[in-house]
Amino acid sequence: MRMESALLEALKLQLDWGADETLLDLPAGLPQAAPRRDRAAAPAPEAPAPHPAAPKPAARIEPPRPVPAAGMEAAALAAAAQDLPALRAAMAGFTGSPLKDTATQLVFADGVPGSAVMFVGEAPGADEDRLGRPFVGVSGQLLDRMLASIGLNRAENFYISNILPWRPPGNRTPTDAEMQMFLPFIRRHIELAGPKYLVLLGGTAAKALVGGKEGITRMRGKWHDVRLSNDKVIPALATLHPAYLLRTPSAKKDAWNDCVMLRRRMNEA
């Protein structure tokens, strides 16, 4: 096979496997290529050739960090943070998730901390990863328009974040292990931001913070209890994710009903 067609075959294989965009110049998680040697530099001493019958040395693969250890690290960092800037710094320094290696930057939150309502989504997408703020892509723009119609805007009266602070490669859905790992951070985030109400945008946020076996279509349009680490319970309205609404415009009426429910509850207080 000629070099060119071999490369095309390799590219096609990656597309078949679902890799649909380039994240880094080099593959993440693979051993680093040996540093390039200056042609003029002295050659490295040659290693003795292995005996032909000798068993091949096993490739050195770093063992993945066990999730419980990373989860404990996340819980300790989150508990130690006494305000939002400290929490942000703790999350930026957290090394327990490989998502940090493929994401461009941490996406912490947007809007006004201390607002009566805090929205929680799933994870940053490509636009959020580039700009460092949650819900700034097309689904965020739809969300902003919906919320504006009930008198909410992020410059004045709501706060917004995600379960995961780093973008999963290719926008894949977060795994259960990832959700569990980041739970201490988002729980502490909610405690420190101090909203009266939560709105859980989509199945990932609802599953992570409420738990249970029901999917978002059954959970939406209802208030659920979210228990924080300080044992405080916050009422949380589950609703459909705006990205789902973009794909399924017929569901917008349900989302609108949820917005009205939220407004009514806020007005009652």
Contacts with ligand URA, residue ranges (CB under 6 A): 121-125, 128, 134-135, 137, 139-140, 162, 243
At closest approach, how far in Å is the CB of 130 from ligand URA? 12
CB of 102 within 8 A of CB of 206?
no
Q: Which is nearer to ligand URA, 73 or 117 (CB)?
A: 117
Residues 91 and 107 sit within 8 Å (Cβ to Cβ): no
Q: What is the arrangement of strands in the sheet containing 197-201, beginning at the earlier edge strand?
A: 110-111, 159-162, 117-121, 197-201, 233-239, 223-227
d(CA 196, CA 182): 22
Closer of 122 and 258 to ligand URA (Cβ): 122
- Tell me whether residue 72 or residue 113 sits nearer to ligand URA (CB atom): 113
Cβ proximity to ligand URA, 47 vs 155, nearer residue = 155
Please say which residue, 119 or 197, places its beta carbon nearer to ligand URA: 119
Nearest distance from C-beta of residue 243 to ligand URA, angstroms:
6
Beta strands 197-201 and 233-239 are parallel
Q: Find the shortest distance in angstroms from Cβ 129 to ligand URA.
A: 9
**Nearest distance, CB of residue 240 and ligand URA, angstroms:** 12
Closest contact distance (angstroms) between CB of 127 and ligand URA is 7
Residue whose C-alpha is closest to residue 200's, from 220, 177, 173: 220
Q: Using CA atoms in the order 172, 177, 180, 185, what is the torsion angle rounded to 10 degrees?
A: -60
Helices (H), 149-251: 176-193, 203-210, 216-219, 242-247
CB of 108 to ligand URA, least distance (A): 11
φ/ψ region of 236 (left if φ > 0, alpha if ψ in -120 to 50, else beta) reads: beta
Which residue minimizes CB distance to ligand URA?
121
Is 144 or 214 the residue whose CB approaches ligand URA more closely?
144
